[in-house]
Structure 1
Amino acid sequence: MVRKCNVRDHTIERAAYQSEVPMLVEIVKAFGREVMQKFVDGETMNFTSKHGMVMKNFMTRLTGEQPWTVDLGEEANITLPRGFCPTGTCGEEVGVTAYRWPHLTYCHPKSEEKMAPDTRVIAMDLMTKSLAEIVVKKLENPIVIYIPRTPIPEKVNAAKARSTILPVVYSNFNVSHNGSSLNLEITPAGPSERLFLVLAKARIPTLERHDWSALVKDLPKRNDTYEWFFSNADLKGEGSYFLGVGEFKAGFDPAAFLRDPESSGATKAHLKNISVAYEIRIYTSGCYFYNEDLGEWMADGILASFSDLRVSRCESRHLTQFGAGFFVLPNSIDFSYTFAKIGFHDNVTIYATLIVLWVIFVVLMLGATPLPDNRVEDKYLYEILVFTGNKKEAQTDSTVQFIVSGDRDESEVRTFGDEKRRIFRKGGIDVFVMAESRPLGKLSMLRIWHDNSGRGPNASWYLSYIVFRDVQTGEKYAFIANQWFAVECEDGQIDRTLTVAGKGERRLFLHLYHNTSSRGIVDGHLWFSRLGSCFSLLFLSMLVNAMWYQRVPEKPGLGSFEYGPFSMSTEQIGVGVVSNLIVFPPTLLIVFLFRKSRPKVLRKSRILKAVEEMRSKAKAEGALASDCESNDSLLHHKFIQKKDTFSPLHTNPPTQPFHTTSPPPFPTTLHIFSVLSLPHDERK
């Protein structure tokens, strides 16, 4: 049950933990009392479970003359202060039971989020010789508890962060709880006599304005690392803190800066760009006790007096269960710092990445492949989506050609092709752009075939369906095949004529089955929506990676969740869950908005409206002969095709035809009629 608590198996109700954990703790205490009944002064018993729980029982006389330490292993211990006489009379026999739990015990409260996932829990019970519990609180001198800590945060190599513009390099971090202590570690790679640190809360520290300052060489040193520690009493509570690292020029007295920064006269002119590479590590710690009355982990009355990579030292004036906190928080963004270092030279990699991604986006946004036989002068565009089936050997390398017919015209023989990639792969979707000199009208028939020139299994082809979209009007026409174009399959045909699918045919089960996996792809904004969604997912993923960059150790510590060769700490699981909550809701929202949006409906041309009114009025009055009606229909067509070059207000017809097949010239009487038939506001 405890191990489930450690890996945060929330499938078990918190209420169950709330009842079971105290029961388990009470069983262990009862075992200690049972053993203590038979103890005499000086007798001890140590117990270690296979899961790592350590319990020490002994009977002793506390004289209070010297501090007294109980060692629980793994650098965990409890030191009782000088003058500690819990019964009020020094020298009386006292039963002592000390525990080191390998994992967090009470994990049902919400406050357990403060706790380090791999913290040890240290506890001590005192009792009289008659086994009555001794309550310890409001001590004059504190009890000192050392609690082992894991995992160890990694150092950040700051060599590449050294600026060529600003002489001070800043780091930003959060202190999330008022009871937290702070550790700043810096490991220079060379001489550091003139390196200095400045620290401030809620603002970027400067030489004139900062809350704390220190010379690196004056800090406590362990191996090659200088350590700057702040207890929870030293800090200014929770919030955002900024650390600056800089280097004074030769000739300036750094000691004067430490004595009195304002009177020292230190300015930016006394600084130089940092000449030595260094590594930095920043982490916070906390000390907490479990309040049995409130059922919460609390930091009231406990001082986190020291912390390093191995242990946290806590000072308390009462006895209960103690645990250490270790917080893995996202990197916060300070915009003043960001804009101060926004220069290209300090962020070459970032700018290069953004430029490359933007170029890729623009190139991919073009999306569709123009047909190789498109002519430059043809301006009327159709988007063609070809869906190759997902059957075995459905792909083809044969040359595929087609003719599409509408109620106005039909295309010439057109050929699919792409020099840069292989098309018509199994289960693939290929997008092409076909250019025509004029609209074909409402499409009704498609003849499509291939030359069977592919080798082996790549000669035949299984076509699911083809969708034509008129780019100008947004209308779509589906031609459903779901057939083999193969001499060795079905009817042996490689040349088929398909009619446009009606509503009934589109609703057939077979078509719905083939269409289910890609129905959203044939929307009018097909490629842009897919590409935009993919890039939003990419950039959001980059964002959350930056938020937790170097915040969680790569190697899981004790208590990690292991499955075969894989292991993952609770911190990594938590960061993964929060990252997904940040990335996927916005991405799904973008996909939903693209899915629900529709092509823009353009306002109808005023000239087209006028011509339609003219034709309807003429038909109602019966004033036109059949040949005039024919010419008027042609005029209506030319208004649509060439309205910028021909107007009914012209007194003479155009000398050049609009199409390769020239229609007969318009009679002058038709122009007069057109002028008289236009509404008054159009004749102005």
Structure 2
Amino acid sequence: CYAWDSGVDEWRLLDSAKCQASEQTAVARPAFKVNLFGSIGAGISFVPNTIDFGELFENWQGKLSESRAVLSVVIVLWVLFIPLAVLLRRMDLRDAQKFQFLPLKDEREQKGFVYKIEVFNGSKRGYEVPVGVFISVKGLNASELLRTLDDGERRNFESGGVDNFLMTTKAHLGDIRSICLTFDKTESGAGRWYVSRLIVTDCTNDNKYIFVIEDWLSPGIDSAVNCASSIDLKFSKNLVRNHLSRRMQDDHIWFSMLRRKVDTNFSRLQRLGVCWSLLFMTMIANAMWYEVADSSSEAFRIGP
């Protein structure tokens, strides 16, 4: 029995002289003998089943024969885990290559000022992979014109993906004011390219310049975009959709194992290990509370 001590704001354990369970106590109707004044509340807290590992290993063959269904589930889970782990490990290696920042294939300067370029492609219906993409970057101090957005090694600009490049310039561009994107055609020759946003990072001072596009680009047409201000970022028309898409691809532990198009340190294989741990912990928790009490009973109740 416990009593609430308002002086210290905590529950105090009472001795048997002040409170003890009556012989008429039942699961549905707890009864107590109390030598106290005031409002009295009653309830029952059900203690989970304990797992005696010593007894378990003493007669483990007999325990296994009694729990064939549980053993079968555990074996099936581990049989599924091994091929899934191999598959996700291969996907992790492919992701590591895809999210790597590689230099542009038209790189002319071996030494100079390095800029990171991140292109976030949309995933709308009618999306086509562009061919022959060029970018021009205009800064406060200098400009870089018609650089080829291609590393020559990977397949870039897939729907919903992120492409990372390194651009080296002879002169420092200063604060970047605008960019201009253009491309020759799409793979089918009749589609358009949807770009969500583009981020340029100055590796000299780690300044980031974000360009919100959120529009379809047509082949052969120059698309100039100014650097987004803080207000533009807050009121972007697809801000909520982009946020939810990233949450599903990164934060959702199950969904992100198969559909992961953002760079993160939490690999697919690690996510699989967490999911399997949750499954086994859920099984153990169910075993601890199995047949402890009727499902309609309450765990604890306070009040007169």
Fold match (TM-score > 0.5): yes
Q: Secondary structure at the match of 2:143?
A: coil
* Structure 1 residues 575 and 436: alpha-carbon distance in aligned structure 2, compared to 1, 3 A threshold: farther
Distance, in Å, in 1 between the alignment partners of 2:177 and 2:57 is 76
Match of 1:370 among 103, 109, 113: 103
Residue matched to 2:28? 19
TM-score by length of 2: 0.56
**1:382 CA displacement:** 1.0
Residue matched to 1:461? 193
Please list, as runs of the form range in 1=range in 2, the aligned pairs for 1:151-550 lying within 5 A after superposition. Answer: 176-177=53-54, 182-183=58-59, 282-283=60-61, 285=63, 309=65, 360=93, 364=97, 367-375=100-108, 377-452=110-185, 454-457=187-190, 459-486=191-218, 494-513=221-240, 515-516=242-243, 517-518=245-246, 530-534=263-267, 537-538=270-271, 540-541=273-274, 544=277
**1:113 CA displacement:** 4.9
Please list, as runs of the form range in 1=range in 2, the aligned pairs for 1:73-152 lying within 5 A after superposition. Answer: 109-114=46-51
**1:417 CA displacement:** 1.6
Distance, in Å, in 2 between the alignment partners of 1:575 and 1:111 is 11
- Contact residue 369 and residue 433 of structure 1 kept, 8 A: yes
Q: Report the number of matched residues.
A: 219
* Structure 1 residues 310 and 506: alpha-carbon distance in aligned structure 2, compared to 1, 3 A threshold: closer
Letter in 2 for 1:309: S
Residue matched to 2:3? none
Distance, in Å, in 2 between the alignment partners of 1:409 and 1:515 is 32
**Structure 1: runs of 5+ lacking an equivalent:** 1-16, 21-107, 115-174, 184-281, 286-307, 312-325, 331-352, 488-492, 522-528, 549-570, 579-684
**1:180 CA displacement:** 5.2
Higher-RCO chain (CA-CA 8 Å, sequence separation at least 6): 2
**Structure 2: runs of 5+ lacking an equivalent:** 1-25, 30-44, 75-85, 250-261, 288-304
* Structure 1 residues 503 and 379: alpha-carbon distance in aligned structure 2, compared to 1, 3 A threshold: same
Describe the superposition over 1:272-297 as per-residue Cα deviations: whole angstroms up to 9, x where unpaired. Answer: xxxxxxxxxx4475xxxxxxxxxxxx
Letter in 1 for 2:154: R
Distance, in Å, in 2 between the alignment partners of 1:360 and 1:180 is 41
Describe the superposition over 1:546-578 as per-residue Cα deviations: whole angstroms up to 9, x where unpaired. Answer: xx9xxxxxxxxxxxxxxxxxxxxxx89515989
Distance, in Å, in 1 between the alignment partners of 2:222 and 2:174 is 24
- Contact residue 195 and residue 217 of structure 2 kept, 8 A: yes
Distance, in Å, in 1 between the alignment partners of 2:266 and 2:198 is 24
Q: Secondary structure at the match of 1:411?
A: strand
Distance, in Å, in 2 between the alignment partners of 1:496 and 1:365 is 26
CA RMSD of aligned residues (A): 4.5
Letter in 1 for 2:47: K
Distance, in Å, in 2 between the alignment partners of 1:475 and 1:426 is 27
Residue matched to 2:8? none
Distance, in Å, in 1 between the alignment partners of 2:283 and 2:173 is 58
TM-score by length of 1: 0.27
- Contact residue 99 and residue 162 of structure 2 kept, 8 A: no
Distance, in Å, in 2 between the alignment partners of 1:180 and 1:530 is 45
* Structure 1 residues 536 and 453: alpha-carbon distance in aligned structure 2, compared to 1, 3 A threshold: closer
Distance, in Å, in 1 between the alignment partners of 2:215 and 2:240 is 14
* Structure 1 residues 376 and 462: alpha-carbon distance in aligned structure 2, compared to 1, 3 A threshold: same
Distance, in Å, in 1 between the alignment partners of 2:272 and 2:104 is 33
- Contact residue 98 and residue 163 of structure 2 kept, 8 A: no
Question: Which has the higher Rg, Structure 1 or Structure 2?
Answer: 1
Distance, in Å, in 2 between the alignment partners of 1:431 and 1:406 is 20
Stretches (4+) displaced over 3 A: 17-20, 111-114, 282-285, 308-311, 359-366, 418-421, 538-545, 575-578
Letter in 2 for 1:480: V
When structure 1 is superposed on structure 2, of 507-516 and 460-469 the one drifting more is 507-516
Describe the superposition over 1:505-541 as per-residue Cα deviations: whole angstroms up to 9, x where unpaired. Answer: 222240524542349x9xxxxxxx9442126725844
Identity of aligned residues (%): 20
Distance, in Å, in 2 between the alignment partners of 1:537 and 1:310 is 33
